[in-house]
Amino acid sequence: MSTVRVSDLIERAYDEVRPLNAQLELTYKCNLLCSFCYNAPKQLRELSGEQWIAALDKLQAAGVFTVTLTGGEPMCHREYFDIAQAVRDRALVLKTYTNGVLLADRETAERYAALAPFDTEISLHGADAATHDRLTGIGGSFDKLLIALGHLSDLGLKVTLKTPITRLNQAQLREIEQLGARLGYRVTFDTNITPTDDGDLSPLSLAADREFMVEFFVDQVRRGARGLNPRPVTKMKQNCGTGRVGLTIDPYGQIFPCVAWRRPVANILDIDDLAALWRGPNETLDYVRKVAEEVPQTTLVKHEEAAFASFCPAVAEKETGDPYAFYEAARVSGLTRLEAQRRLEGGKTALRKSQGCRGKDTGCALEDDGVKDR
């Protein structure tokens, strides 16, 4: 019997445009006040638990098998646990993005653990209370987070800590990693700060210093924590998977082609067959897929640094009004990684020369450099 790899199934779904993953923003209510949050709440009635559970049936019928509950703070939805249980009752993969504050209550943590979530992603904004609480806007949030993480560790749950890098916490990244290690959890760093969903650019003022980010990438590569991995722009079919295998639904039921692109596709309350909607034709889905396919050859190919850039057409549209524009944050992200690559390659060249190597001689070891040839 032949074996089918999950990666092959995902690639097939990508090519055939079949939704596999859904991110449900249960509520925009939150018990923190993070200054760089991208949510843009509206004065509208949010979906009830019953409505979200009905949406789960439509998602499952369309082929979705991974559901991420997020917000705002998803546990601020009064029926969070009913919705999460409905995900598990349908044998769907459950993930949750949370700030962890409510899980400081042991009973709540135990109730959450009983759901057997596949993964729990929790934001950690600093290595100490002063930094973390400054970024969350709420005093005591760091201490509650540590209590919550202790509960989740005791209960054997898989947790991924995620730290958006800002100018306020950039000096603490190694300490944040060490804190995660002491708790037994991996820390991932988000290097991109984005505008809010309604286009407010003020969160960008918190972006980390560029020179710091260059050294951050150099250090991460040398320690084997990440690779720079430039994208093969000229060979790319699409810039990203917007409108293909994933979707986002906001607290009011609006379906979006991804978490970043706030062009509504339809409202989940108004449709019966999500699969038919996804196959189209649909003006929004057709447009975002077209842009994603064209961006590599119309935008990225023109810029040397684009292979290293974190380019998002949705962010381009928010910042400039044009999804094809090579916006400033993308340019900076590309130049930052490109400079890191050059410094790493310069280190290799210097070491080769010190070992008597010439040109592209592959017979010289680079063990002391800590950089793997790629």
- Domain-by-domain residue ranges, the chain? 6-269
More confident site: 36 or 234: 234
Count of Cβ atoms closer than 10 Å to residue 139 Cβ: 11
State pTM to two decimals.
0.88
User: pLDDT value at position 356?
Assistant: 36
User: Which helix (DSSP H) or strand (DSSP E) does residue 249 occupy?
Assistant: strand 246-249
More confident site: 371 or 300: 300
Count of Cβ atoms closer than 10 Å to residue 58 Cβ: 18
How far apart (Å, rounded) are the C-alpha atoms in residues 301 and 286? 23
Q: Check whether 358 has a pLDDT greater than 80.
A: no
Return all residues near 189 (Cβ < 8 A) that are at least 6 apart: 162, 163, 164, 165, 173, 216
Tens digits of per-residue pLDDT, 146-197?
Answer: 999 999 999 999 999 999 999 999 999 999 999 999 989 999 999 888 877 7
User: pLDDT value at position 96?
Assistant: 98
Pairing relationship of beta strands 254-256 and 186-190 according to DSSP bridges: unpaired
User: pLDDT value at position 347?
Assistant: 58
Contact 127, 145 (CB under 8 A): no
User: pLDDT value at position 364?
Assistant: 26
Cα four-point dihedral sign 42, 242, 25, 54:
positive
Of the listed ranges 37-46, 193-202, 208-217, the least confidently predicted one is 193-202
From residue 139, alpha-carbon distances to 144, 146, 171, 186 in Å are 10, 13, 21, 25
Burial (CB count within 10 angstroms: exposed 0-12, middle 13-18, buried 19+), residue 298 = exposed
Arithmetic mean of pLDDT, 17-29: 96
Confidence band, pLDDT 50/70/90 cuts, at residue 2: low
How far apart (Å, rounded) are the C-alpha atoms in residues 155 and 108? 12
How far apart (Å, rounded) are the C-alpha atoms in residues 321 and 135? 29
What residues are paired with 164 via a beta bridge? 190
User: pLDDT value at position 3?
Assistant: 73
How far apart (Å, rounded) are the C-alpha atoms in residues 44 and 64? 27
Cα separation of the two ends of the chain? 35
- DSSP 8-state secondary structure symbol assigned to residue 62: T
Is the peptide bond preceding residue 49 cis, with omega within 30 degrees of 0?
A: no
Contact 292, 313 (CB under 8 A): yes
Q: Percentage of the chain with pLDDT > 90?
A: 78
User: pLDDT value at position 368?
Assistant: 28
Amino acid type, 103: L
User: pLDDT value at position 43?
Assistant: 84
How far apart (Å, rounded) are the C-alpha atoms in residues 369 and 309? 25
Tens digits of per-residue pLDDT, 301-322?
Answer: 999 999 999 999 999 999 999 9
What residues are paired with 190 via a beta bridge? 164
Tens digits of per-residue pLDDT, 247-295?
Answer: 999 999 999 999 999 999 999 999 999 999 999 899 999 999 999 999 9
How far apart (Å, rounded) are the C-alpha atoms in residues 10 and 16? 10
Q: Check whether 143 has a pLDDT greater than 60.
A: yes
Q: Check whether 69 has a pLDDT greater than 70.
A: yes
Q: Check whether 360 has a pLDDT greater than 90.
A: no
User: pLDDT value at position 39?
Assistant: 80
Confidence band, pLDDT 50/70/90 cuts, at residue 237: very high
Confidence band, pLDDT 50/70/90 cuts, at residue 355: very low
Is the peptide bond preceding residue 281 cis, with omega within 30 degrees of 0?
A: yes
Confidence band, pLDDT 50/70/90 cuts, at residue 357: very low
How far apart (Å, rounded) are the C-alpha atoms in residues 49 and 44? 16
Q: Check whether 73 has a pLDDT greater than 80.
A: yes
Instruction: Please give the CATH architecture assigned to the domain spanning 6-269.
Output: Alpha-Beta Barrel (3.20)
Arithmetic mean of pLDDT, 112-121: 98
Pairing relationship of beta strands 66-70 and 159-164 according to DSSP bridges: unpaired
From residue 83, alpha-carbon distances to 69, 70, 74, 111, 212 in Å are 9, 12, 10, 13, 42
